[in-house]
Structure 1
Amino acid sequence: MSQTSTNVQDCIRACQECVAACERCLYEMGPNASDNDCPRCCRECIDLCNLCIAALSRDSRFAEEICRLCGEACRWCAEQCGEHDHDHCRECMTACQQCADECLAMSK
């Protein structure tokens, strides 16, 4: 992967912010039922963002592919959370969109 350290740090930061937003969304949703894939998408994003952070931190040879997958998951989660009017879902949607943009830029 031929990215600058600034790009890597920006992606890691976006992943960290996405994890925090997804964790908050999960907490706020609690045991409430959802009419779509939220909160399932939040769990996926948390796992993939943490994997992406680890891969980027150690300059993994698979970082580009992991970033692509993480970006796709974050886009999906942004769509799901965007269907709800709750503040925590809107914040999660924004964090997921930003993370998707950073991760997909890293995978090019």
Structure 2
Amino acid sequence: MAHEKNQQLIQTLHECLEACNHCYDACLKEEDVKMMAECIRLDRECADICAFLEQSLTRNSPFSSDLAAVCAKVCEACGNECKKHDHDHCQKCADACFKCAEACKQFA
């Protein structure tokens, strides 16, 4: 299968997607949800682009490299926002986002 050579990136994307979904859900339960609005928005953006890139890699899309460059930007933005918050879920999400951004940059 064509995607086997990208298995590590696919795994990293999936871990980032899961971290973002967990952060998104946990942020919605925080006392001051308004303060978490940008974090919530970027969690969604990041999870969606990671899922889309993951799918593009499994079907050997000719656009995967371009999508990886965009994914890296979104992951960095999400990581930077999450890093601003002291919540454990935000810190774990930031770590996953930065790891994913680096992997996407290397692929792109």
TM-score by length of 2: 0.89
Superposition CA RMSD, Å: 1.8
Q: Tell me which protein shows more helix as a share of its residues.
A: 2
Q: Give the letter aligned to residue 68 of structure 1.
A: A
Segments of 4+ moved more than 4 angstroms: 4-7
The correspondence of residues 17-96 of structure 1 with structure 2, limited to 5 A, is: 17-30=15-28, 32-34=33-35, 37-96=38-97
Alignment identity in percent?
33
5+ unaligned residues in a row in structure 1: which ranges? none
State the alpha-carbon separation in 2 of the partners of residues 83 and 11 from structure 1.
Answer: 26
Q: Larger deviation: 7-16 or 26-35? A: 26-35
TM norm structure 1: 0.89
Aligned residues: 104
* 2:53 maps to amino acid: C
Q: Which runs of 5+ in 2 are unaligned?
A: none
SS of aligned partner of 1:85: coil
1:88-107 maps to which residues of 2 (within 5 A)?
88-107=89-108
Structure 2: how far apart are the matches of 1:20 and 1:30?
16
